[in-house]
Structure 1
């Protein structure tokens, strides 16, 4: 009987999923200009304004040249205005460079010849109103939602379209940065949660706070994400099969805190099973995190979106 119920759920889930998909341009054949370099690092620094539904900030990327090129080609949605780009070659001083941005491609002119193994650092300043998801998590875009008490409840999803719907990047799954820093500024009293290790927050004194995160392992562009709400944090640890302690963290809305505490035991049991079948958790140096999201779940690296229902049906499932 349970197997029948599971098959029914799985078929229904697949039908719903693919009825909402609008396949876009993430992945596919790698453009020659992008095959010519390897991304090693990103630093995303953004202010998120839920009142105007806009973002404003910068993206620093560091790349290593594989084959000589005269432009650095990145991807970025046309919804954004790029206001300035600065570039450094082999740790030289940054200088302003020219660029063009159209058809969701950002072509950045390299001001001098570069050779194999040269290192380019490029800082892109941009702003705008990101697209709004019409059916998260399958339709890409920002989620500007509110909780039952009227507080902002925010997130972003881009599993098919890729990270370029909200930040400049080499939007191809073949190239992941070795590490990444993420700084996100949101209005108080929101708490902003993202991938990787939590480095702390700064109260800016203007009714906003900046939350800082560091991803210590490679990460795919579509997995870079955030959640912002008036979260409370539930913390625990899990002893992996290889003996290391993995931080377990669950950010939830205050009204479901007591219920969510009980879920931690379930998560521990799930991890026992997954590590037994699949092997050690690969992101244990960062964390295994969940965030109470204003949409159905999504497998964002080290900070999984957890659907907002917190109710189980007669078969024991929380959809």
Structure 2
């Protein structure tokens, strides 16, 4: 965040107005096909900037009146990120113009072009610190999540959740290391596409659920009211489906393979009696909620 703010503030003094012409790249003005192709190529990496918002509701337990506050926080954060990223792109284009797409490190090269080598080095160092922070956090969270899926949710075989004498999920650590070793050999854009594909798989069922429950009124909303009724979910569904057209065959193949493995594990996995009892209680709670037998 600090790195981006410094980039925007410092870079704003070295913007050249001529770099904003043409507004639309020449290659994208040759028809609807080329325009959609170039727009789609940029859409997936931009959408990647908005992944991770689904983790905000995890903090609901620590919030006052989460039914109203969480949607407001989500909207506020997304608007803030949008403004910040728009300013970042505005400054970057103002610094180097159409040459921005030719750099492997666009922001660093843009600031370096404007202020000198120290600007390039500053962005690279800030980027490495950010990546290290995310990787360090994920190295702890990912194995624990894998073990939780096996031990608590019973979505994976029991042996996946095994831990050593120090209570560390050693099977999850090994699986995380193997997957990291495989994906670290791939390009940045491929990894971004995989992340966006995972978000697509997560978001589309949520969008469909919102439409269904809005129509059936199965779960009356006692907090935040979605404006526009079906408008926002339908737009979100169209945008999500459009994302699929921008994925490469390799990315789609990865998604199909992961889905197939998950389906096989689910079919042949033994059902835990305790988990079935929890699901039964959950269904009873939902039935009471549908018939307004629970007051908030």
TM class by shorter chain equals under 0.3
TM-score, normalised via structure 2 length: 0.24
Answer 1 or 2: higher relative contact order, Cα 8 Å, separation at least 6: 2
TM-score normalized with structure 1 length: 0.23
Q: Tell me which structure has the larger Cα radius of gyration.
A: 2
